[in-house]
Structure 1
Amino acid sequence: MSFYTSLSGLQAAQTELSAVSHNLANVSTNGFKKSRTDFADVIASSISTDPTKIVGSGVVVKANKQQFTEGNLKTTGAALDLTVAGDGFFAVKTSGLNTSTAYTRNGAFQIDPTTHNIVDAQGSTLLGYPVDAKGNVTASGADGLVPINLPQTSGTPAPTGNVALKVNLYAAASIPTTTFDPANASSYNSSTTSTIYDSSGKASTLTNYYVHTGTDAWTVHSFVGDKELSVGGSTAGTPVTFDASGKITAPTTPVSYDAFTPTTGGVSQTLKFDLAGSTQNSTAFSVNARSSDGSSVGDLSGVTVNSEGMVTATYSNGDTTALGKVALANFSNPAGLRQDGDSYWSASGVSGQASLGSAKENGFGSLLSGTLEGSNVDITEELVALIAAQRNFQANSKALDTSNQITQTIVNLRA
């Protein structure tokens, strides 16, 4: 019997050594949770056995229990590096042929260059809840989970059709003596630039040159790129006049330019230029108001995740869009989760089914952006446990050897 008792001790010590070694091997694995080996003694007895004479029969491993204490936080500064501060797991849809929902504490996410979904290092997609334009969640539960996608562009392109400027022209400006040439600064007095868009949302620059031609009289030449816009086929410029008080008297309506092809290569478009409200007085040239229509398509320029898990994207055209809310999962018994590798867990009968929600609600922790949760393995603690497990193994080996020597002595007895 002592052979089997010592053997059970050896096997238990070997299991503990394996668990400790696994912990140490994953000391640098983000989101890793260490395991602890729990033991129980084995007693073989019957109802007729005297309780004072029972001898134990060894040890058995009851469980390799996972420890879900939080690991150390590491600041990265990357917006999609996320940490659950408190209870909860990220829900991800695994990639490959057999997709399933897995749970992880490893929040090292990035944007997939093909699908533009938020994914982890294994290509699994981060799941969340859809939101409306105001950021209100529009679904719940497991059936409401969707991949969080980051569109690379935002907005609907529209060509610029109207540009309005209110300028003040300097009444005492000199009259240029040379023929107007946009390349010669001495041939005009002032200029303004305005951004306009073509039908595909691409931007180009409208430049207006102001030439003083006489008392209370000016001429405005308008260029898109290096091409001058015409009115009725003429590129002589638009006459602008003022009365004695400095109020504009002509043109009284917006100037309608002939159709032109943008320098950005879009389709032909027309443009109206309005100088209503412009003045001429003794103060320096200035632009008092500027407006234009048209819109561009914005490129993705940044993404943020707040403490409640709301993912918000910003675009180069100024759009700010709420894209979804990161979902969190929790379990009645996290220690019963099945370890699947790659810092993934899946639900089991011991853990119970996932309870889904969002950060800062229903007992879930908050989200930290720009940080990662490291392993919760303490190297010093594990090394001490490793030494203890090694000593246990040696002690059981010694007990086995002693039992062998006793048996050998008995075998060698002679009548």
Structure 2
Amino acid sequence: MLNSLFSGITGMKGQQTKMDVIANNISNVNTTGFKAQRVRFQDMISETNANAQGPNNGGRGGLNAQQVGLGTQVAATDVMMQGGSLQFTGRALDFGIQNGDNSFFVVSEDGGDSGMMQYTRDGGFYTDNEGNLTTSNGFRLMGYSEANLGNPSADNLEALSIPQERDGLTLQDYNIDNTGTILGTYSDGNAYVIGRIAMSNFANPDGLEKAGENIYNASANSGVPQYGGPSDDGFGVVRSGFMEMSNVDLATEFTEMIVASRAYQANSRSITTSDEMLQELINLKR
């Protein structure tokens, strides 16, 4: 009977974890490029009161084992990497990744000096007063210079910038096409290739670790990042003037919230019922 108390506790703890995940999903319903999570459960070990037995020579058939479970535990908190819908913004430095759930923009906090790369689906970029392309939190957007456009690899990654001057010419305008190529129009009226945005793919994107600020880190189970560019084979297409929305489905989250709440209530009821049974047992002494 005491086991039922502790089984109820494991159920309550598991449902609390599920509620934490649901609340986080709902709070990020408007977060750019956010990927919802889900919780999966598995049963704990079982107490075996009697082992299984096979048929014997006396004619009796076999017997199944007698086991009593000892509760539940969280098996995984999966990240749902399906792409969110694209929302039109019309802003030149807003990019949404289309047809590439495994693809990510490559960013670096120090511009790649340490070789530490991080990854994001948040395609809202900015230019600072030096023309550097950055995320909203100042991470540098990585890509390939004009000299390395045809050789996308980790060794050729550089922090991208749009120079205000080039060979004595002044920048007039710039645009970035669906292949991630940055074209700058200068005072001579000609368009020059400045660089190209890099993208990365992972064999197991679900294995990426969230680092906050819409950033992911590679992990031991995500696989080694494969670098390329938008529209390359196996990589997504960049849509300028669009932003990827969160893939949180509020209808699903609220339904799961109801299920989690009822499951939590049911587990707490199993504890109070077990307590009442123990109280009746104690009352036998009276």
Identity of matched residues, %: 34
Helix, strand or coil: the match of 1:382?
helix
Residue 141 of structure 1 corresponds to which residue in structure 2?
A: 153
Instruction: For residues 317-369 of structure 1, give each alpha carbon's deviation from its aligned partner in whole angstroms, at most 9, with x where no partner exists.
Output: 31311111111111111111111001110000111111111112231111110
More strand by share: 1
Instruction: For residues 269-303 of structure 1, give each alpha carbon's deviation from its aligned partner in whole angstroms, at most 9, with x where no partner exists.
Output: xxxxxxxxxxxxxxxxxxxxxxxxxxxx32x2322
Once the two structures are superposed, the pairs formed by residues 301-380 of structure 1 within 5 Å of their partners are 301-380=172-251
Shift of 1:84: 1.1
Are the equivalent residues in 1 in contact too, given 2:107–2:118 (CA < 8 A)? yes
Separation (CA, whole Å) in 2 of partners of 1:404 and 1:98: 58
Are the equivalent residues in 1 in contact too, given 2:152–2:229 (CA < 8 A)? no
More helix by share: 2
Shift of 1:36: 0.6
Helix, strand or coil: the match of 2:10?
helix
The reply on whether 1:14 has 2:16 as its aligned counterpart is yes
Residue 55 of structure 2 corresponds to which residue in structure 1?
A: none
Shift of 1:45: 4.5
The runs of at least 4 aligned residues of structure 1 exceeding 6 Å deviation read: 96-99
Residue 80 of structure 2 corresponds to which residue in structure 1?
A: 67
Helix, strand or coil: the match of 1:55?
strand
Once the two structures are superposed, the pairs formed by residues 102-251 of structure 1 within 5 Å of their partners are 102-113=118-129, 115-132=130-147, 137-156=149-168
Q: CA RMSD in A?
A: 2.0
Separation (CA, whole Å) in 2 of partners of 1:350 and 1:109: 29
The reply on whether 1:2 has 2:4 as its aligned counterpart is yes
Residue 80 of structure 1 corresponds to which residue in structure 2?
A: 93
Separation (CA, whole Å) in 2 of partners of 1:47 and 1:119: 62
Shift of 1:23: 0.2
Separation (CA, whole Å) in 2 of partners of 1:99 and 1:142: 9
The reply on whether 1:54 has 2:70 as its aligned counterpart is no
Instruction: For residues 121-171 of structure 1, give each alpha carbon's deviation from its aligned partner in whole angstroms, at most 9, with x where no partner exists.
Output: 000011001124xxx715431111001110012343xxxxxxxxxxxxxxx
Separation (CA, whole Å) in 2 of partners of 1:98 and 1:146: 12
The reply on whether 1:410 has 2:286 as its aligned counterpart is no
Helix, strand or coil: the match of 1:372?
strand
Helix, strand or coil: the match of 1:386?
helix
Are the equivalent residues in 2 in contact too, given 1:95–1:123 (CA < 8 A)? no
TM-score, normalised on structure 1? Answer: 0.62
- Are the structure 2 counterparts of residues 95 and 400 from structure 1 closer, same or farther at C-alpha, using a change threshold of 3 Å? farther
